[in-house]
């Protein structure tokens, strides 16, 4: 594979009106701003309780974790909260390793 054959990983977001954002693909430094913007947009519509459905998320790095933490804090300050739903075993291990499983709501 040459560098011209490289296809960057993608993040796909599905946002129904109920405050749930379905996240699929890869959440990394390149795609984290996309998720942060979607959370901000949802909160801007007055939805302060947001659920991230992570059942189709294949990869998450520290940039993704940072989005989770910042959104959690912002939503709590607004009287709501962030819930991570259906994280993979790998993501659960990452959250436990970073001790974020104690700070974030995981469903």
CATH at 39: 3.30.750.24
How much is the pTM?
Answer: 0.88
* HSE-CB for 99 with a 13 A CA cutoff: 0
What is the residue-averaged pLDDT of the chain?
Answer: 90
pLDDT class of 7 with cuts at 50, 70, 90: very low
- Decide if 9 is inside a domain: no
3-state secondary structure of 58: strand
- Decide if 103 is inside a domain: yes
- Decide if 19 is inside a domain: no
**Which residues form the domain of 69?**
31-88+96-107
- Decide if 53 is inside a domain: yes
Distances (CA, A) of 34 to 30, 38, 54, 75, 107: 8, 6, 15, 17, 23
Number of domains in the chain: 1
- Decide if 11 is inside a domain: no
- Decide if 25 is inside a domain: no
- Decide if 84 is inside a domain: yes
pLDDT class of 10 with cuts at 50, 70, 90: confident
């Amino acid at each position: 594979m040459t560098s011209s054959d490289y296809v960057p990983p993608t993040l796909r977001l599905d946002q129904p009106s109920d405050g749930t954002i379905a996240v699929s693909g890869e959440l990394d430094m390149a795609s984290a701003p996309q998720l942060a913007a979607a959370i901000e947009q949802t909160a801007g519509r007055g939805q302060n309780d947001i659920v991230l459905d992570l059942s189709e998320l294949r990869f998450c790095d520290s940039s993704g974790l940072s989005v989770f933490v910042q959104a959690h804090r912002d939503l709590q300050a607004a009287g709501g909260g962030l819930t991570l739903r259906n994280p993979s075993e790998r993501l659960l291990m990452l959250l436990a390793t970073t001790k974020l499983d104690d700070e974030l709501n995981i469903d």
